[in-house]
């Protein structure tokens, strides 16, 4: 069986992992001496280094949720955090998730092994810790 046929068969085989399919594509890229394909495959296998590199198909709209603490031990858990409460430069953090991880990490996530959480940068938390709901802090 040729490499290309093997890739095609893996692409339609529901029991085949994306990681294995991509490794075959990496071999194809090397044989074709196609640097663009090799770079894309490497990014999919190893993860993307910056948010700017993440392709559109790996950016998902989301809703930000958080836990807040208030006076006398009061708590609000899993509360939606409206983006208009945040400084404009951070609003993207509440609207989109950039899946920059390796494809094998995403495969584990799909299998239910792990949590899908995106931690906010400390600078954002410090800027809005007490500005979401009066009397409560993130």
pLDDT tens digit at each of 138 positions of the chain: 699 999 999 999 988 999 999 999 999 999 999 999 999 999 999 999 998 999 999 998 888 888 899 999 999 999 888 888 888 887 877 788 889 999 998 888 888 776 777 777 888 888 888 888 888 888
* Measured distance CA(56)–CA(3) in Å, rounded: 28
* Measured distance CA(26)–CA(29) in Å, rounded: 5
CB 24 within 8 A of CB 16: no
* Measured distance CA(105)–CA(17) in Å, rounded: 12
Would you tell me how many other CB atoms lie within 10 Å of the CB of residue 28? 17
């Amino acid at each position: 069986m040729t490499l290309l046929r093997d890739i095609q068969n893996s692409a339609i085989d529901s029991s085949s992992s994306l990681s294995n399919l991509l490794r075959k594509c990496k071999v194809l890229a090397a044989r074709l001496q196609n640097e663009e394909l090799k770079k894309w495959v490497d990014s999919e296998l190893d993860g993307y280094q910056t948010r700017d590199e993440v392709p559109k198909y790996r950016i998902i709209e989301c809703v930000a949720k958080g836990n807040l603490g208030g006076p006398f031990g009061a708590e609000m858990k899993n509360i939606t955090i409206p983006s208009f409460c945040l400084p404009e430069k951070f609003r993207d953090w509440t609207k989109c998730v950039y899946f920059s991880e390796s494809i094998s990490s995403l495969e584990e996530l799909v299998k239910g092994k792990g949590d899908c959480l995106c931690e906010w940068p400390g600078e954002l938390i410090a800027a809005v810790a007490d500005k979401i709901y009066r009397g409560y802090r993130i």
